[in-house]
Every structure is written in structure tokens, then in C-alpha cells.
Structure 1
Amino acid sequence: MFNLLLLSGAMFALGLDAYVLAGLLPDIATYFSVSKGEAAQVVTAFTLCYAIAAPALATALAGQSVRRILALAMALFVIGNLLSIVADSFALLVVSRCIAGAGAGTFAPVAASLAGSLVPKERKGRALGMILGGMGTGTVIGVPLGIQIAQTFGWQSTLLLVALIGLVAVIGVLTKLPTIEVATPPSLRSRLQMLTHPRIAAVVSVTLFTATASLGLYTFMAPMLTDLGLGNDPSAYLWVWGLGGVAAAFSVGHVIDRTGRPGMVLLTLLSIMSLALLSLPLTASVPMAVSFLPFLLWGAMGWSSLAPQQHVLLELQPEHGSVAVALNSSANYLGSAIGAMLGGLLLDHELLMPSLLPWAAAVSAIVAVGLQVIVMLTRLNTPRAPEKQTPDKQS
């Protein structure tokens, strides 16, 4: 149990670091005298390296013990956050976020694999839930707490907290984790090769557009709320977003199991998320309690969208499920990076006000809905039926 708590605590730090910067962008922009659009690129750097650099790093570490991989990955994560604290230029901050993202992206899949190996088979689901719960708690509780710390002591203090938790995790991994062999995370090359399968490519494309809409917009939560007239402290709305996400992420599996139709479940989730995003700019004039609703739905639908995708991918590629799921994870973080980058460009070139970014995100979400409809109508989300062998005619 201690080892699971250790890994869960490390995932808490990862969840906090991945999502707290959305609430710190105004402070970072002021500190480095850059626009909010430029400041958003620190999120792009983290998520892009999480999606791309981490698989390459996992390949480089192949053959190392799990304990060493986890320790090196978390040490890289800590170094990246420490560099972020002392960065005296915006360029160095971006580089430091790349380092932290690569470390986080390497640690997370190995930690999940190890968690399943630390317990008996009948408790594997609970172990994985504990690991995911650590990251979810980092978002729901850690992010609002981190923002409050930043408002009192400065944004660097929040990243110092992240680094300290990560340092404790490094020490725990080196001194407490048993020596257990688990599969090395799939390399970037193996993930890209999976895209040659039209069915896999179609499903993953839906994930990409979904993440561009949901996680991309999340990056601009603080300036969006300010422009909507909902206050300068995004903590409450970030908390509602994360709470909806964690609750839905843990419950969507039951819905999939009961309906047996993950494709339809995903289509429903994406449709509701699109409506929630479209309604966000209309929340400024309603009571606060009502204004929370689209944020709750947005978080819930966005977070829970990964589960039905993973379900479909495991059915499409039962023999290479880990590679397919890893590809989907990379697409999720790549979509986040693309959304942050595009949102920053729209703001920097004054093509949209921050309050109208939800409508831009809704366009990406609606594209995801359309792609999902195509996937379902063409049955690209179902395994190809084996071809029947025609018996040879006898002469």
C-alpha cells in the first residue's frame, strides 16, 4: 500500500504541474513582460514534450530497471520545475517546461504499469484507480491550492511546491520501491506506425480535436474569466472544472459497461461538451451558481472522453493495445499543445477576445463530433471481420 501511495503522490505533483499554469498565466505574462498569448506557450512546451519527447526518452531508457527509469524521469521533472523557478528569461522558462514535460510523460505510463504489478490481479483496477486518482486530486485540490499559494507568495512558490513533492518521490522510489520488471512504454516510432491503420487513425483523430478544444481552452481559463467579468481569481471555476472531470472519469466506465456502446457514449459526451463550450460566453450575466454549470459539464465531458476511446482501441488492437492506448495519450497531449498554441496566436493577433475563445474551441469540438459520426457510420470503430476463405475448386 505504501508504494501505491508513493506513486499516487508523485502523480499528484504531475497533475498539479500540468494544470496549475492555466491559472498562473497572467502572473507569468506580467513577470516576463510578455502577452498572455505568448505566456500560454509554456503550456504548449510542457504538453508537446509530454506527447513527443517522453516516448523518445522512454526508448532511450529501455533496458533500465523500473526503479531507475522512474527515478530518472521524476528527477528530470524536478529539475525542470527548479529551472522554471530561477528562470530569468521567458526563453529559459519555455525550455524548463519542456524538460518537466518530458519527465512527466516518461514517469506516468511506467508508474501505471508498475501499480498493476504491485497488487494481486483482482485488485489491479483499484491500484490503477489510485494512480489516476492521484493525478485527479492534483487537479481538483492541488490547482486551486497552488493558485492561492501563488497569489500569496508568487507563482514560483507553486512550482517550488511541485518540485519538493517530486523530490520526495525520487527519494521514495530509490529507497522503497521493489525491483519489478514491467514493459517499457511504446516508443514514438511504434506509436506513429500504428497510424497506418485507418481505423486507429480515425479514432485517434477524434481524440486530437477533442483535446484541442477542451485542454486547449483550459489553458486560457484565467484571461477568459477576467474578460467575461467573472473575476480575476479562477480558483472556483478551476475547481468546478476539475471536480466534474474527476467524477465523470471514474463513472464513465460503468456507463460503457452497461450500454456496451463506447462509440455512442463518446458521441454523447462530445455533443454535450460542444454545447457547454458554446454557452460559456453567455454566462457572464447569470448568477454565479448557474455560471458554474457549463464549466462542470465541460470538465466532465472532456475528461471522460478518453475512456471510451481506450475501450475502442483495445478492441481494434487487442494484441497491441498498449501501443494504441499510448498513441491515444500522445494525441491527447498533442491536441492540448495545439490548442494552447492556436489560442495564443488568436489572442496575440487580436483576432478574438479571450471571452470568445470558447466559440473557437467549440469549432474543434464540433469537428470531433462530425468525425465521430463518420467513424460510427463507416464502422471504423469496430474490428474488421476476418475474411472467409473460399475453398479451392476441385478440377
Structure 2
Amino acid sequence: MGAKAQLSSRLTRLSPSQLAQRKPVPRQTEMGRRRRPIAMLALALGGFGIGTTEFVSMGLLNIIADDFGISEAQAGHIVTSYALGVVVGAPLITTLTGRVPRRRLIIILMAAFVIGNAMSVIAQGYGMLLVARFIAGLPHGAYFAVANLIAASMADPGKRGQAIARISLGLATATVIGVPVAQWIGQQLGWNSAYALVAVIGLLSFAGLWHSMPHMTLMPMTRPSTEIGALVNPQVLLSLAAGAIGFGGMFCVYTYISWTMTERAGFPENLMWFVLMVYGIGMVVGNWIGGRFADINVDGAVVGSLVTMVVMLVLFFFGSTVAPLAILLFGLLSVGGGVLTVNMQTRFMDVAGEAQNLAAAMNQSAFNIANAAGAAVGGAVIDAGFNYSYPALAGAALAVGGLVVFVPTMLLRRRHVDRAASSPVMS
């Protein structure tokens, strides 16, 4: 019997579990050139699903409000509930799972994401939906934290910012494709069908991660005590504050964009998907630009993005009654948001020292504190009797607040770096 026939005979006698053992998951240092882009695509697909579920709620709030018979401000709490899940889950999960292998953790987080969105599909009441959205938000921040660190670990030298931007591209692309499609499906088949689409996307990401993600042997394990060190790092805390306040300006407008466009600009409700798509294109462009800036000057990019957001928000206040102009300004606002997302993520990783996992999650915490705060501030403005243009002015004030916090933070770090560089080296 020839060697090939002998091998075939042996394989037929092996059970499926024994066959699986013949193809072990490779280590990070052993993964082939074809496996890396598949793993990165699976990570980005998870970000695509998360971005879709996070943003689509905002475009469906009016439908959800009508279905449950609640006010606009109460509907905004659905967005807030998801954001609070992110804020709680991001630091808690990343702190307690520092010793869990990264491959295993990223797969578990995506499974939890699928479960949370499946619960949103079957929610029968307002209270149950609030709970489901909170649960869906819990793995959000930890997923992006781990995914970005995996991407940075896989990146070629000098390309870390661009690798992180590829993961963020999943989130940005969601605003171009995922959110408009889910919004359309939600309008045609009911709001819960949008969450069903998200659950399916999550399952596809789960399958891709299971198949392609290697053992991340170059990523060191950490202890909770090490991760908690980020919470006493002034640069981490001040960056968190700057991001949470500055990002909030964008969500003052985004949360209530459906009402602004339909009631102030007279834009047809059935074309809201186009408004969200323009916003998404701006996010993709900002993400691409931000990835390049992150490899050149992170702090300068953060300042530039916040200034851009201030200008666009003020202009949106004046132009929100003219539909084409409002859509254009909304898209330009998202460019600033895309640049800010990537560069704040990179900055957290730069200033965190050994507490990389928790610091990477801090960007998601900042983003979703901003989400909750922006929705709350915008809702308060509307409840006070102002029309739907006025949340943009409140948003501009928040973006200015982000600059007020960040600029001294940036200068303080620069002074510290310069002082360390000029200090004599002890022999």
C-alpha cells in the first residue's frame, strides 16, 4: 500500500474530534499571511455589528416611542441605557479578565453581544427593552478594547494607528451601510427586526473569530491591580473627561436627528436612511484620515477634530432648517468625530503604561458617557421648550468643554516628556 493510501486509511479511522486536534489553532507568531487579514476582517465585522446596534436606535426612537406610547425624552433613555451598559462593562470586564487569553475573551464577548441583541428582539415592553439594551452594551467597550490591542499587536512597525483604524473602520462602515439598512428594515418590519439583523451580524463575526483568530502569545497577561493603575493616572483620567465631554457635542445632534430633519428641515421620514448614510460616509473619511494622523501627531489631531466639531455644530444650528445644508453639515460633523475616535483611542494606549486593557476600554467609556450625556443634554433642551435646532448649540458648548479639558492635559504631558528628555541619565 502506498504512502498516500496509508494516510487516507488512517484519516478515515479518526473521529471528528481527533481530526480537529490535527489542526490546532496557531500561535500569533505562527499565523500565515492569509490568516491575518481574515482575523482582522472578523474583528472589524464585530465592530460593524456593534456600530449598527449602537446608532440604529437613534434613528428608530420615534417609531419605538409611538409603539410604547412614550415621550421623546423617555425614548432617549433607550440610547442612554445602552451607553450605560458600555460605561459599566468596559472597565469592569477589562479589569477582571486581564489573565484570560485574548482569543478566548474576544470570542466570549461577541457571544454576549449576540445574546444581548437577541433579548432586544423579543422585548415586549419599555422596561424590558431598557434592560436588554443595557445587557447588549456590556460587552461593547471591552470588545473594542481587546480588538484594538489585538490589531496593534498584529501591526507592522510604525503602522499601529492604521491597524487600529481598520478596526474602527467596522464601526464607521456601520454608519454608512449597517445603520441605514437596519433603519430601513426597522421602518418596514418593525423596530425589533433591526436588532435581529444585528444579532445575525454578530453570529457571522463569532464564526469568523472562532475560525481565524490565533492564540495571541505576544500579548502579555495582566493583573487587576495593574489595570486599576490606569484609574490613578492623571493623563488617562483627563483624557477620559475630555473625550466624554467633547464627544457629547456630537450626540446632542445625532440622538434627535430624525426629529430635526423631519420637523425643522421638512425632510421625508422614509429618506432618513440617506441622512444616516451621509453621516456614515463622513465617519469613514474621518476614520481614514484619523489613522494617518495617529501615526504622526495624536494630540494635534484631537485638538483639530474638536475644533471642527465646534464649528460644524454652530453652523448646523443656523442651517438645520435647510435640508441639503443640514445634511452636508451633519456629514462634516461626523468627519471630526471619526478623527477624534481613532486618535483618542491611540492616546489612551500611549499614556496608560502597563494598564493597556483598561486604558483601551476608556475610549469606549468616554464615547458612551458622551452618548448618554449628549442624549440627556439634548433631551433637556427640547423638554425646556426649545426647538430641535437648539441641541446643536448645547453640543457646541460641550465640544468647547472638551477642548478646555484637553489642551491643558496635552501641554502637561508635553512638559513632562520634555522634562524627562532633558534630565541627565543616571549611570
Unaligned residue ranges in structure 1 (runs of 5+): none
- The equivalences for 1:193-272 within 5 A come to 193-231=229-267, 232=269, 233-255=271-293, 260=297, 262-272=298-308
CA deviation digits over 1:27-86, x for unaligned, max 9? Answer: 111111111111111111112211222331334444434343223212211111111111
Q: Is the 8 A contact 2:116 2:136 kept in 1?
A: yes
Cα distance change of structure 1 residues 315 and 289 upon mapping to structure 2, 3 Å threshold: same
Shift in Å, 1:6? 2.2
CA deviation digits over 1:278-303, x for unaligned, max 9? Answer: 121322454x4433332122111122
Cα distance change of structure 1 residues 382 and 330 upon mapping to structure 2, 3 Å threshold: farther
CA deviation digits over 1:108-147, x for unaligned, max 9? Answer: 2223333455576687666544322222211211111111
2:75 is aligned with 1:36: no
Q: Is the 8 A contact 1:270 1:365 kept in 2?
A: yes
- The equivalences for 1:43-192 within 5 A come to 43-117=79-153, 127-181=163-217, 182-183=219-220
With the length of structure 2 as denominator, give the TM-score of the two structures.
0.79
CA deviation digits over 1:188-238, x for unaligned, max 9? Answer: x86664353444433332211111111343222212222312422422222
Counterparts of 1:110 and 1:313, CA distance in 2: 13
Instruction: Tell me the matched-pair count.
Output: 385
Shift in Å, 1:177? 3.4
- Partner AA of 1:210 in structure 2: G
Shift in Å, 1:100? 0.8
Cα distance change of structure 1 residues 236 and 95 upon mapping to structure 2, 3 Å threshold: same
2:358 is aligned with 1:358: no
CA deviation digits over 1:296-335, x for unaligned, max 9? Answer: 2211112212344455555545555554443233222222
Counterparts of 1:265 and 1:148, CA distance in 2: 34
Q: Is the 8 A contact 1:150 1:157 kept in 2?
A: yes
Cα distance change of structure 1 residues 133 and 284 upon mapping to structure 2, 3 Å threshold: closer
With the length of structure 1 as denominator, give the TM-score of the two structures.
0.85
Question: Which of these residues, 338, 344, 359, is aligned with residue 379 of structure 2?
Answer: 344
Structure 1 stretch displaced more, 99-108 or 166-175: 166-175
Q: Is the 8 A contact 1:216 1:337 kept in 2?
A: no
Cα distance change of structure 1 residues 63 and 254 upon mapping to structure 2, 3 Å threshold: closer
Counterparts of 1:68 and 1:257, CA distance in 2: 29
Cα distance change of structure 1 residues 310 and 241 upon mapping to structure 2, 3 Å threshold: same
Shift in Å, 1:346? 3.8
Cα distance change of structure 1 residues 208 and 185 upon mapping to structure 2, 3 Å threshold: farther
Cα distance change of structure 1 residues 198 and 247 upon mapping to structure 2, 3 Å threshold: same
Counterparts of 2:278 and 2:175, CA distance in 1: 10
- What is the aligned-residue identity percentage? 27
Question: Which of these residues, 306, 328, 341, is aligned with residue 341 of structure 2?
Answer: 306
Unaligned residue ranges in structure 2 (runs of 5+): 1-36
Counterpart residue number, 1:10: 46
2:318 is aligned with 1:282: yes
Cα distance change of structure 1 residues 116 and 224 upon mapping to structure 2, 3 Å threshold: same
Counterparts of 1:61 and 1:312, CA distance in 2: 22
Cα distance change of structure 1 residues 28 and 106 upon mapping to structure 2, 3 Å threshold: same
Report which of the two structures shows the higher radius of gyration computed on alpha carbons: 2
Question: Which of these residues, 313, 329, 335, is aligned with residue 294 of structure 1?
Answer: 329
Q: Is the 8 A contact 1:149 1:157 kept in 2?
A: yes
Cα distance change of structure 1 residues 40 and 190 upon mapping to structure 2, 3 Å threshold: farther
2:404 is aligned with 1:370: yes
Counterpart residue number, 1:326: 361
Q: Is the 8 A contact 1:4 1:115 kept in 2?
A: yes
